[in-house]
Amino acid sequence: MPGAAETHILSAPRTLRRTARAYLSLTKPRVVELLLVVTAPTMILAEQGIPSLWLVVATLIGGSLSAGSAGAFNCYIDRDIDRLMKRTQNRPLVTGELTDRQALVFAWLVGLASILWLLAFTNWLAAALSLGAILLYVVFYTMVLKRRTAQNIVWGGIAGCMPVLIGWAAVTGDLSWPPFVLFLIIFLWTPPHYWPLSMKYRDDYQAAGVPMLAVVRGRSQVGLQVILYAWATVACSLLLVPIADMGLLYLFVALVTGAWFISETHRLYGLAIRHVEVSPMRLFHGSIAYLTMLFLAVGVDPLLPF
Mean pLDDT (whole number) for 180-204: 93
d(Cα 266, Cα 261) in Å, to the nearest integer? 9
pTM given for the model: 0.91
Contact 249, 305 (CB under 8 A): no
Tell me, what's the pLDDT at 14?
Answer: 66
Q: Is it the case that residue 29 has pLDDT exceeding 80? A: yes
- Residue 95 sits at φ, ψ, to 5 deg, of -80, -15
Tell me, what's the pLDDT at 228?
Answer: 96
Tell me, what's the pLDDT at 13?
Answer: 55
Tell me, what's the pLDDT at 11?
Answer: 45
Q: H helices then E strands: how many in the chain?
A: 16, 0
Q: Is it the case that residue 92 has pLDDT exceeding 50? A: yes
Contact 228, 154 (CB under 8 A): no
Mean pLDDT (whole number) for 30-40: 89
How far apart, in Å, are the Cα atoms of 258 and each of 2, 97, 228?
A: 46, 42, 13
Q: b/e string for 266-277 if b means 16 or more Cβ within 10 A?
A: ebbbebbeeeee
d(Cα 151, Cα 157) in Å, to the nearest integer? 10
Provide the residue type at 286 as one letter.
G
Q: Tell whether the torsion through CA atoms of 175, 35, 69 and 204 is positive or negative.
A: positive
DSSP three-state, residue 305: coil
d(Cα 71, Cα 142) in Å, to the nearest integer? 10
d(Cα 120, Cα 114) in Å, to the nearest integer? 10
On the CB side of 20, CA atoms within 13 Å amount to 3
| Tens digits of residue pLDDT in 146-171 | 999 998 989 888 999 999 999 999 99
| Tens digits of residue pLDDT in 252-276 | 999 999 999 999 999 998 888 887 7
Q: Among the listed ranges 83-92, 112-121, 132-141, 249-258, which one has the minimum average pLDDT value?
A: 83-92
Q: Give the CA-trace dihedral at 252, 255, 260, 264, to 10 degrees.
A: 160
